[in-house]
Amino acid sequence: MKRKQILAAVTAFVAIVAMGVNILPVEAKVNTESTVTQEMCNSTYWNSMSANNGNILMDAGLIDAYNAKALKTKECNMFDLTAMDRSFNATELKGAVANAILSEMPQKPIFVNSVPVDTALYYNAVSQLVLATGWDGVISPKYALAVSQTEIKSIPVVDYIGYSQTDSDDEIILSSLKVNEPFVIKQWANVNNHVFYYGYSNNVSGWVLADDLAICDTKAEWLNMWQTKTNGKDFIVVTTDYFTLSESHYAPATSGVKLTMGTTLKLVPDKDIPRNIAMRGTWNNYVVYLPTRDANGRFVKQMALVAQNKDVNVGYLPLTSANVVDLSFKYLGDTYGWGGMLDSVDCSALVRNVYKCFGLEMPRNTSWQKEVPGTCFDVGEYDNASKTSIIAACIPGTALYLPGHTMIYLGTVNGVPYVISAMGSASDSTGAFDVVSQNSVTVTPLTVRRRNGATWLESVNGIVIPWNR
């Protein structure tokens, strides 16, 4: 642009300002449910409503007692992985899991990668491949660690299985594993050139892609990587939805690894920290141990750097109402991920991951989470007014339940309880009845409506209070 043109443009702009013409920036606005204000989309709004939200709800001793109680309760369907050291008949187990694939086969058409297939033919083929591979004879379990965020599935396939061409849920996903989360392996299968391991996490049994697991040489090294004390300070816990480790040409096994909320990683003792890690110094970084796998799938312990700016805490956070609410909002707007698909969370996983940051272990499913003795208050038979009164008396951060869904209570405004949850679909609480698939973590009042027309408030049937004592 020539000098005269520049001067003319500047002069014109000055003239516009002198005339008092306002040049306004575009206002950024986020869509919400009709009764949810922008202020409500921040944990500070809710935490400012309570004067005692910094009180410790459970100390380390109470959390340990709760975890022990949940682990011993059959209805919670949790597993004590540390006790799974007995040898077993692998041939019998292989037959059992192959039969389970058939017995749990959907009694409806399925779509594999959006293509309709014959359900019986597909499941029978998978079952036969399980029988044709795997271990035989009497063997001992193998102890593994997840080296990446991964899914636990009901059958060993990489395919996406839905009940319609556009099903948003991969129906065979049961749960997920975080990085460094333990898994006990008891069988394997090669299905369509993909190797899977069958075994147990602490809350579900199923199949995990072998490439996402590293097998330890001994139980001792396995335990040393992931076992933590509730009041310990020798590890960090991830306290945001997720972040990734820095990319590195010199440490490809730890480069860009995704860490999700509730992930725990042991800190490297000061005396063992080297001058450099993967061509980087260690200033302003946490130095942690990360599980990686070699070419044969064996566990390799590596050091990695977690930048000081990342949302982590040394040791578990204090279990307070304010902390529960703060952590819940770290997921706000994230996609809904059934069973952990899409590297995200569904409703029960959100509650599990938030509570895990305090060292508190929750069962996997909504129905199982309500089974920990002495924690669930049944409100299914109460009327709306009574439910509202009972919920309003709850501490923010309390988990509320309705059939197939769980939410974290935030507070009550103008007589209406509000929650945050990873939700599928609902109709706005006002206006015409119009159910919309949200598939996101959202803030909503309990007056939003389900597909059957009932409000969430009408459907709430349980309030789980782990700190009830």
Question: Do β-strands 110-112 and 312-314 pair in parallel, antiparallel, or remain unpaired?
Answer: unpaired
Show the domain range for 90: 81-215
Are residues 266 and 396 both part of a single domain? Answer: no
Last residue of a domain, one of 260, 287, 314: 314
Q: Report the pLDDT averaged over residues 229-236.
A: 98
pLDDT at 50: 85
Q: Where are the alpha helices (DSSP H) in 19-59?
A: 43-47
Query: CA 113 to CA 174: how far, in whole Å?
Result: 18
Query: CA 316 to CA 353: how far, in whole Å?
Result: 12
Query: CA 341 to CA 350: how far, in whole Å?
Result: 13
Q: How many CA atoms lie within 13 A of 308 on its CB side?
A: 4
pLDDT at 14: 43
* Mean pLDDT of the residues in the chain: 94
DSSP assignment of 158-221: -S-EESSTT-SS-TTEEEEE-TT-EEEEEEEEEETTEEEEEEE-SS-EEEEEGGGEEE-SSHHH
pLDDT over 70 (residue 27):
no
pLDDT over 50 (residue 199):
yes
Last residue of a domain, one of 314, 332, 351: 314
Overall number of domains in the chain: 3
pLDDT at 10: 45
CATH value at residue 237: 2.30.30
123 and 172 in contact (C-beta within 8 Å)?
A: no
pLDDT at 8: 54
pLDDT over 70 (residue 21):
no
For residue 226, is it within any domain? no
For residue 16, is it within any domain? no
350 and 408 in contact (C-beta within 8 Å)?
A: yes
pLDDT over 70 (residue 5):
no
Q: Is 278 left (phi over 0), alpha (psi -120 to 50) or beta?
A: left
Per-residue pLDDT reduced to its tens digit, 69-123: 999 999 999 999 999 999 999 999 999 999 999 999 999 999 999 999 999 999 9
Are residues 124 and 197 both part of a single domain? Answer: yes
Are residues 132 and 170 both part of a single domain? Answer: yes
Beta-bridge partner residues of 70: none
Last residue of a domain, one of 167, 187, 215: 215
Are residues 459 and 324 both part of a single domain? Answer: yes
pLDDT over 80 (residue 44):
yes
Are residues 328 and 361 both part of a single domain? Answer: yes
Query: CA 53 to CA 63: how far, in whole Å?
Result: 18
Q: Report the pLDDT averaged over residues 208-227.
A: 98
Are residues 364 and 291 both part of a single domain? Answer: no
Are residues 431 and 383 both part of a single domain? Answer: yes
pLDDT over 50 (residue 187):
yes
Query: CA 240 to CA 417: how far, in whole Å?
Result: 25
146 and 213 in contact (C-beta within 8 Å)?
A: yes
pLDDT over 50 (residue 227):
yes
Are residues 379 and 253 both part of a single domain? Answer: no
Give residue 24's pLDDT band: very low, low, confident or very high (50, 70, 90): low
Per-residue pLDDT reduced to its tens digit, 315-367: 999 999 999 999 999 999 999 999 999 999 999 999 999 999 999 999 999 99
For residue 76, is it within any domain? no
Give Cβ neighbours of residue 337 (< 8 Å, ≥ 6 apart): 343, 344, 345, 346, 349, 422
pLDDT over 50 (residue 224):
yes
Cβ count within 10 A of residue 303: 17
Letter string b/e over residues 15-34, b meaning 16 or more CB atoms within 10 A of that residue's CB? eeeeeeeeeeeeeeeeeebe
Per-residue pLDDT reduced to its tens digit, 117-140: 999 999 999 999 999 999 999 999
| Helix H or strand E segment including 18 | helix 3-18
Are residues 309 and 323 both part of a single domain? Answer: no
Per-residue pLDDT reduced to its tens digit, 396-428: 999 999 999 999 999 999 999 999 999 999 999
